[in-house]
Amino acid sequence: MSTASLISKVWSFATVLRDDGVSYGDYLEQITYLLFLKMADEQTKPPYDKEIHFPRLKDIEGNEIEDGLVCDWDTLSNLRGAELEAFYGQMLRTLATERGMLGQIFTKSQNKIQDPAKLARVIQMIDEQEWSLLNADVKGDIYEGLLEKNAEDTKSGAGQYFTPRPLIRAMVACLQPEPLKTIIDPACGTGGFFLAAYDDIVERHDLDREELRFLKNGTFHGNEIVANTRRLCLMNMYLHNIGEIDGEPSINPNDAL
């Protein structure tokens, strides 16, 4: 499928869920949870074979439930009905207690899709695609497309964290970022300035292995105090090949001031 077709397919479910009172922003949030979990699952299989820890369900006090279900994609995608709805809510709460990128993506997460049949359809849609095999440009364009569509929904107030991309590109062109330099954004929103700087560095420089490694894991550092916006930023950057799924997040949740 083309990038436009994938964006259209992923976004088509938003219209269906609007009838259930799920806003565009809430839908994008749920897509982020599910897409991250699916890609994490893909990373544990060949040819990646990463060791990513998926915990068992935890109780309210944060203790793993003995013989509880594992919070991974295989478990989630095989449940239906009331069992799916119950597990999904418990899974979000459990993953929010994890360390690293996993915990940051699921911080303060909640299930906003109350109809288990429609939740199952969204899960099936994501399950049909091998996301890790997609080019970073394609995955990034899909997610940026969803962010832009959400920003167009003015009632959600999404414009506060989605700066118009032509404006960002113009500012980055003036700054001319260089390889092996750190780039800081103290109020980074969904990461638009980071992505434009990344593209600018790649396009203007013939990078060696060390410069590419630093660009992926050491260049970008930011602050975003709003948990949901920080989640979107981390996912947006990861889909654009910045950071590791099992690494430490480069976006700090503290107040930049």
Model confidence pLDDT, tens digit, residues 49-83: 888 889 999 887 778 887 789 999 999 999 999 99
Residue 10 sits in the same domain as residue 126 = yes
The total number of structural domains in the chain stands at 2
Instruction: Give the pLDDT score at 160.
Output: 58
How many Å apart are CA 39 and CA 243, to the nearest integer?
A: 14
Query: What pLDDT does 181 receive?
Result: 97
Domain boundary among 74, 102, 132: 132
Residues 170 and 128 in one domain: no
Considering the domain architecture, whether residues 67 and 165 belong to the same structural domain is answered as no
What range does the domain containing 122 cover? 3-132
Same domain, 168 and 225: yes
pLDDT for 113: 92
- What tens digit of pLDDT does each residue of 169-215 get? 999 999 999 999 999 999 998 898 999 999 999 999 999 999 999 99
In the predicted structure, residue 144 carries a pLDDT above the cut 70: yes
Flag whether pLDDT at 217 surpasses 90: yes
Calculate mean pLDDT across residues 140-151: 80
**Domain of residue 236, CATH code:** 3.40.50.150
Examine the domain organization and report whether 12 and 125 are in the same domain. yes
- Contact assessment for residue 189 and residue 233, using Cβ atoms and an 8 Å cutoff: yes
Q: Which of 151, 140, 162 is nearest to 236 (CA)?
A: 140
The pLDDT, as a whole number, for residue 157 is: 53
Omega of the bond leading into 116 within 30 degrees of 0 (cis): no
- Highest mean pLDDT among 35-39, 209-213, 233-237 belongs to 209-213
Is residue 171 assigned to a domain? yes
Q: Give the pLDDT confidence score for residue 13 in this predicted structure.
A: 81
Average pLDDT estimate for 16-27 = 83
Shared domain for 156 and 35, answered yes or no, is no
38-67 in b/e form (b: 16+ CB < 10 A) is bbbbbbbeeeeeeeeebbbbbeeeeeeeee
> Are 11 and 125 found together in one domain?
yes
Q: Are residues 163 and 60 in the same domain?
A: no
Q: How many residues does the chain have?
A: 257
Banded pLDDT at 153 (limits 50, 70, 90): low
Looking at the whole model, is its pTM more than 0.95? no
Domain final residue pick, 132, 158, 176: 132
Distance CA 190, CA 194 (A): 9
pLDDT of 159 reads 53
Whether residue 13 is contained in a domain is answered as yes
Regarding whether 22 and 37 lie in a shared domain, the answer is yes
Domain contains 257:
no
Q: Is the pLDDT of residue 156 over 70?
A: no
Average pLDDT in the chain: 87
* pLDDT tens column, 101-131: 888 899 889 999 989 999 999 999 999 888 8
The partner residues of 184 in beta bridges, in order of sequence, read 221
Q: CA 58, CA 73: separation in Å to the nearest integer?
A: 17
**CATH number of residue 69's parent domain:** 1.20.1260.30
**According to the model, what pLDDT value does residue 111 have?**
93
pLDDT higher than 70, residue 161: no
| Domain shared by 140 and 93, yes or no | no
Q: Are residues 50 and 65 in the same domain?
A: yes
